[in-house]
């Protein structure tokens, strides 16, 4: 099991969180805490860069949904970037690929005007 590391950075469109390691039952609260502390403004886009995420279980999916709810509550958008194939497959199976906007990488997700 790998620990979770979340590295925030700012982009022109809003905050980007790079998620590294396992987003699972033991670590999902870490993402919730970081997202809860974000200063999201209306019209911004929160990007969750999952390119270095190694594993995501149902608790991790729930944390992604909580991040989405937090963004929507702030009248901001949310986007996923570089979603690993296994996680993308799960999102598709449960219909969340229709809820989340997914981009191939964080550069595409932070492009203005999307």
Q: What is residue 108's predicted lDDT score, i.e. its pLDDT?
A: 97
Element (H, E) at 96: none
Task: Give the per-residue pLDDT at 2.
Answer: 76
pLDDT in tens, 78-112: 999 999 999 999 999 999 999 999 999 999 999 98
- Rounded to whole angstroms, how far apart are CA atoms 54 and 66? 20
pLDDT of residue 54: 95
Mean per-residue pLDDT, 26-46: 96
The whole-angstrom separation of Cα 51 and Cα 37 is 22
For the chain, list the domains and their CATH numbers.
4-109 (3.30.750.24)
Q: What residues does 53 pair with on adjacent strands?
A: 21
pLDDT digit string, tens, across residues 42-87 = 999 999 999 999 999 999 999 999 999 999 999 999 999 999 999 9
């Amino acid at each position: 099991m790998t620990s979770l590391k979340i590295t925030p950075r700012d982009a022109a469109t809003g905050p980007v969180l790079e998620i590294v390691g396992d987003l699972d039952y033991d670590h999902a609260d870490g993402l919730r805490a970081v997202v809860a502390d974000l200063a999201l403004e209306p019209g911004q886009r929160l990007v969750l860069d999952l390119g270095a995420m190694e594993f995501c279980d149902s608790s991790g999916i729930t944390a992604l949904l909580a991040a989405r709810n937090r963004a929507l509550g702030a009248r901001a958008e949310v986007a996923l970037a570089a979603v690993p194939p296994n996680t993308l497959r799960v999102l598709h199976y449960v219909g969340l690929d229709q809820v989340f906007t997914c981009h191939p990488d964080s550069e595409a997700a932070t492009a203005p005007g999307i």
